Chain A
Amino acid sequence: MHELSIVQSIVETAVDAATQASASRVSKVYLRLGVLSGAVKESLQFCYSIGTLDTILEGSSLEIEELPVKIYCAKCREVRELPDIQRFRCPVCNTPSGDVRQGKELEIGSLEVDLP
Chain B
Amino acid sequence: MTPRILEVRKKVLNKNDELARGLRERFHQAGVFTLNLVSSPGTGKTALLQKTLATMLAQGEKVAALVGDLETDNDARRLAESGAPVKQIQTHGCCHLEANMIASHLEGWDLNHIDYLFIENVGNLVCPASYDLGEDIRVALLSVTEGEDKPLKYPTMFHSSDVAVITKMDIAEACDFNRETAVANIHSVRPEMRIFEVSAKKGTGMDAWLDYLTAARKSARG
Which residues of A are at the interface with B, using a C-beta cutoff of 8 A? Answer: 1-2, 5-6, 9-10, 12-14, 17-18, 21, 23-25, 27, 31, 36-39, 85-89, 96-98, 100, 106-116
B92 at the interface (CB under 8 A from A): no
Hey, which chain B residues are within 8 Å of A10, CB to CB? 12
A-B contact pairs, 19 of them (CB 8 A): A1-B95, A6-B12, A10-B12, A17-B10, A18-B6, A21-B6, A25-B1, A37-B156, A38-B130, A85-B189, A88-B159, A88-B189, A88-B190, A96-B187, A96-B192, A112-B3, A112-B5, A113-B3, A116-B1
CA distance in complex: A97, B187 (Å): 10
| Contact indicator B12/A13 (Cβ below 8 Å) | yes
| Contact indicator B130/A6 (Cβ below 8 Å) | yes
Hey, which chain A residues are within 8 Å of B129, CB to CB? 38
CA distance in complex: A98, B187 (Å): 10
CA distance in complex: A2, B125 (Å): 12
Chain B, range 7-35, C-beta contacts under 8 Å to A: 7-16
Determine which of B9, B15, B94 lies in contact with A9 in the assembled complex, contact meaning CB atoms within 8 Å: B15
Contact A17/B8 with A36-B159, A38-B127, A98-B191 known, Cβ cut-off 8 Å: yes
Which residues of B are at the interface with A, using a C-beta cutoff of 8 A? Answer: 1-16, 94-96, 126-127, 129-130, 152, 155-157, 159-160, 187-192
| Contact indicator B188/A86 (Cβ below 8 Å) | yes
Hey, which chain B residues are within 8 Å of A9, CB to CB? 12-16
| Contact indicator A5/B94 (Cβ below 8 Å) | yes
| Contact indicator B190/A98 (Cβ below 8 Å) | yes
Hey, which chain A residues are within 8 Å of B13, CB to CB? 6, 9, 106
Query: Whole-angstrom distance from the CB of B31 to the nearest CB of chain A?
Result: 28
| Contact indicator B11/A106 (Cβ below 8 Å) | yes
Given contacts A23-B4, A38-B160, A39-B130, 14 further A-B pairs with CB under 8 A are: A1-B95, A1-B126, A9-B14, A9-B16, A23-B6, A25-B1, A37-B156, A38-B127, A86-B189, A107-B9, A107-B12, A109-B9, A111-B5, A116-B1
Q: Which of A88, A89, A100 has the most CB of B within 10 A?
A: A88
| Contact indicator A97/B191 (Cβ below 8 Å) | yes
| Contact indicator A115/B189 (Cβ below 8 Å) | no
Q: Which 4 A-B pairs have the closest CB atoms?
A: A96-B191, A2-B127, A38-B130, A38-B129
| Contact indicator A13/B3 (Cβ below 8 Å) | no
| Contact indicator A2/B126 (Cβ below 8 Å) | yes
**In the complex, residue of chain A having the shortest beta-carbon distance to the beta carbon of B127:** A2
CA distance in complex: A113, B2 (Å): 8
| Contact indicator B5/A13 (Cβ below 8 Å) | no
